[in-house]
């Protein structure tokens, strides 16, 4: 997330309710004191390298949407999850270079002799 999402309530939602870890850069303000428990903690232990890896995820989502469309055809939640998993599997198969595939070529068929 960008700096625009830097608020204590969003950090609290991510950490407490979603049981996850927020990686949102802390906004620079005129005052030097950072308000909020989670914001202070994040300001002291912010990982720039990890934050900039989000571009990889955003690129993968963009490719998935361009290749397979932005909407899901399924109506039921369970089937929507399956549809997303299938799209991700197809995306990953498409990333495999052709040199890794092994093709078995059968040149001749033999029949049993009488």
Predicted confidence (pLDDT) per residue in 30-64, tens digit? 667 777 777 778 777 777 888 888 888 888 889 99
- Rounded to two decimals, the pTM is 0.54
47 & 75 share domain: no
Residue 64 belongs to some domain of the structure: no
19 & 47 share domain: yes
Residue 109 belongs to some domain of the structure: no
46 & 84 share domain: no
Residue 105 belongs to some domain of the structure: no
HSE toward the beta carbon, residue 110, CA cutoff 13 A: 3
Residue 33 belongs to some domain of the structure: yes
Residue 27 belongs to some domain of the structure: yes
SS3 of the chain: CCHHHCCHHHHHHHHHHCCCCCCCCCCCCCCCCCCCHHHHHHHHCCCHHHHHCHHHHHHHHHHHHHHHCCCCCCCCHHHHHHHHHHHHHHHHHHHCCHHHCCCCCCCCCCCCCC
Q: What is the tally of structural domains in the chain?
A: 2
Q: Which tokens go with 19?
A: 């049981």
Print the domain residue range for 96: 71-100
CB 91 within 8 A of CB 63: yes
Is the pLDDT at 65 greater than 70? The verdict is yes
């Amino acid at each position: 997330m960008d700096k625009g999402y830097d608020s204590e309530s969003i950090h609290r939602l991510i950490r407490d309710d979603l049981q996850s870890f927020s990686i949102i850069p802390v906004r620079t303000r005129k005052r030097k004191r950072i308000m909020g428990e989670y914001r202070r903690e994040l300001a002291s232990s912010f990982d720039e390298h990890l934050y900039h890896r989000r571009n990889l995820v955003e690129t993968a989502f963009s490719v998935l949407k361009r290749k397979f469309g932005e909407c899901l055809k399924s109506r039921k939640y369970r089937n929507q999850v399956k549809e997303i998993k299938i799209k991700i599997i197809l995306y990953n198969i498409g990333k495999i270079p052709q040199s890794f595939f092994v093709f078995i070529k059968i040149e001749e068929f033999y029949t049993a002799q009488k």
